[in-house]
Chain A
């Protein structure tokens, strides 16, 4: 009997062919079967409206300039593997030119400018970003692979909001630090990741500029396009030359920034591994340092949680941006009594996630950012299988070209497994169980990371107890992956130090006298 119900469960083509006498499937074994009936008409954004130049130069001292290195590297669309453009690779000489431009701008213009005027530049930039939001969203999606509905509805609104928020702080810093006289640090070197290219640029630039610093920023090598488009917006806004300089390139370019003697502050978002290298490199110097690093967040579901909402939150927690999120809820801890129900709901829910063309407005899961990242995800999932976990995946067809990984989760995971300890940075969830709140805390905190955590329960006092004891910088109660410029973001332990966003975000770019 059992075997027959399995047969009728799902047919890959979506057509369910009843047997002569259709078996009655017990309710607990029924699965949602969307099959081919789940097709939507394609609804892509037209990328042709926003042509991309064949070559991109460095942005130094207000101008786009060819790199001293003379070299360029290709940038591809991860959804098609087609080359989009080639991008200048900054070497140490280029970084030095950018730092000198930033220093000059700091000494002569930006550091001296009345705070109110600085703020007005940021407001102006925020407004232009809003005007060009669609173009930037399309560009972000083409360059990085994230679905347009996320770049359009999450990334870009937050980018503009960050500039608006910090614009207003520029002339109010003395109220942010009662009893102190805040002063800028000088030239900030900022290195950002590829998962939220423009949003990370905004998180870094807006507070730095509001506090009166000038900046040399390096985007990630796979996602430089929107930052370079932002440079054009700075030109359009009339931002004084040298206040923001962009040097594109990979690790060597970043190292040149970190090691440059005339930089006062390093801000880095990326992996814990690289963060530690940077911490070592700046040790003994007078450089200020803030780090936003990796995470392995626990998303904790209690038996009294509203399960449908919780499952939606789990989906948002791990599959948002293909799981390329440092605060992703990548460890799901489910209280034993609801484990079976949660896994069933999760298994059904991921079948409805639409993987494919990131430019399509109906796409939930876009392309994995790079071939290297895809290989890393596959390697870690394989380690999970090797260590005894069971893999559940969306039964969907993946495009033939590009880098793709279907939404997945692993059950039968123990806390010692690599998939429970290491950051996968992909759409892969590790599901585990617990019995008591104390056990959930113990397990949730049992990681070198401490960036974020989620709690799902209907009981308010339980939320506050858990929130107080979780060692994480951001706690989402009955929600997940919420962001706002007014809300500080950053980690405990090996997830880094310093905060971005909100009032503490200003402290990262001020000296208090």
Chain B
């Protein structure tokens, strides 16, 4: 009489332009736990999905860059609030994916929340720290300030699946860039869940776009895309680095490598305001003084 209830399986989808499409390719991959058990299926992003994500990111770039620094800070803090609210969900997602003990998973999630709060505060401060009025030897008022570079591709390492992702995205978007993020290949589910949480924060659609799938398949297209301004590579893979950086030769994308060991993402070195500078452009303006 008592048939056990059948659990509802979920298909994890991509996050592009604030929406959750399946891959246009119709492909899916199975997500496994560290122990090898099948968890759920997730979308296997294609080159076309990546191009759609860049279009979404480019469309969102103007508005996000023009938003006041105060507003961007408010929105990032709101994202941290949402994350706090749904911390349990992320903890179980990390724990069931990686096999981490719940306490360990909780440590990753709380640190990710705190890091987001930390970076939320930088939106209206980094320009004060990293801009300058330049004492030129002529009657000109001359100043230099950072501006977002545009659309940034972010590659997350496999581990820690959530914390590294958040630590890489926050310094990119806080200045007004938009991001196309390639999630952990080994443990994509925490990233996909994070995207679902972002979608319920006030972050405008397209500011963060998330693709899951196979990195090696996407990397040549990331490198050669003409409408990507910068790449932040957290994979630590020398092979991927060569391909991605070679893509700089296509349209002079800015390329930054962040080689951190899995444990380092928990350390202070993964929370660095100087990382903001890797995806900004310095603009210098000259104004004559006189009447």
Contact = CB atoms under 8 A, between A and B. Distances in A.
Interface of A: 161, 177-180, 272, 275-277, 279-280, 282-284, 291, 293, 448, 463, 467, 472-479, 482, 484, 486-490, 492-497, 499, 502-504, 507, 512
A473 B242 contact: no
A168 B242 CA distance: 37
B11 interface: no
A474 B287 contact: no
B23 to A, nearest CB: 29
A486 B136 contact: yes
B186 interface: no
Nearest to B252: A494
A423 B222 CA distance: 28
B251 A494 contact: yes
Given A180-B274, A275-B252, A279-B248, A484 B136 contact: yes
16 contacts: A161-B137, A280-B246, A283-B242, A283-B246, A283-B248, A472-B283, A474-B284, A474-B286, A475-B286, A482-B286, A496-B252, A502-B134, A502-B284, A503-B132, A504-B144, A512-B274
B274 A476 contact: no
Contact of A477 (B229, B250, B285): B285
Interface string B139-181: 0101010000100000000000000000000000000000000
A479 B132 contact: no
Given A161-B137, A484-B137, A486-B134, A478 B288 contact: yes
Contacts of B247: 283
B116 to A, nearest CB: 20
B136 A487 contact: yes
Contacts of B286: 474-477, 479, 482, 487
Contacts of A507: 277
A473 B284 contact: yes
Nearest to A490: B282
Contacts, number: 112
Given A279-B252, A283-B249, A489 B142 contact: no
Contacts of B251: 448, 493-494
Given A477-B286, A487-B136, A487-B144, 6 more contacts: A280-B246, A280-B248, A283-B248, A479-B287, A484-B137, A503-B132
A324 B209 CA distance: 43
B283 A475 contact: yes
Q: Which 6 A-B pairs have the closest CB atoms?
A: A284-B242, A280-B249, A283-B245, A484-B136, A283-B246, A279-B249
Interface in B219-253: 229, 238, 241-243, 245-252
A20 B77 CA distance: 85
Contacts of A484: 134, 136-138, 142
Interface in B73-91: none
A487 B252 contact: no
B254 interface: yes
A487 B142 contact: yes
Contact of B282 (A161, A291, A504): A504
Nearest to B247: A283
B4 interface: no
B268 to A, nearest CB: 11
Contacts of B264: none
Interface SS, B side: mixed
B135 interface: yes
B40 interface: no
Contacts of B245: 279, 282-284
> In this complex, which of A284, A482, A489 has the most chain B Cβ atoms within 10 angstroms of its Cβ?
A284
Nearest to A158: B137
B217 interface: no
A497 B255 CA distance: 10
B267 interface: no
A272 B252 contact: yes
A320 to B, nearest CB: 15
Contacts of B252: 272, 275-276, 279, 291, 293, 493-497
B144 A277 contact: no
Given A276-B252, A496-B252, A482 B284 contact: no
Contact of A473 (B142, B274, B283): B283
Contacts of B288: 477-479
A325 to B, nearest CB: 15
B246 to A, nearest CB: 4
A77 B281 CA distance: 39
A291 B254 CA distance: 11
Contacts of A479: 140, 286-288
A507 B248 CA distance: 20
A277 B285 contact: no
B129 interface: yes
Contacts of A277: 249
Contact of B254 (A293, A478, A488, A497): A497
A482 B249 contact: no
A138 B152 CA distance: 47
Contacts of A180: 274
B287 A477 contact: yes
Nearest to B223: A283
A499 B288 CA distance: 22
Nearest to B62: A469
A475 B249 contact: no
Interface string B259-278: 00000000000000110010
B284 A478 contact: no
Contacts of B142: 484, 486-487
A307 B83 CA distance: 57
Nearest to A448: B251
Contacts of A291: 252
A507 B134 CA distance: 16
Contacts of B287: 463, 477-479
B129 A487 contact: no
Nearest to B287: A477
Contacts of A504: 144, 282
A20 to B, nearest CB: 50
A504 B140 CA distance: 19
B181 to A, nearest CB: 22
Contacts of B144: 487-488, 502-504
A499 B134 CA distance: 14
Contacts of A177: 274
A475 B274 CA distance: 25
Contact of A482 (B132, B140, B229, B248): B140
> In this complex, which of B247, B249, B254 has the most chain A Cβ atoms within 10 angstroms of its Cβ?
B249
A178 B238 contact: no
A160 to B, nearest CB: 11
Given A279-B252, A494-B252, A489 B135 contact: no
A366 B140 CA distance: 28
Contacts of A494: 251-252
B18 to A, nearest CB: 25
Nearest to A478: B288
Nearest to A482: B286
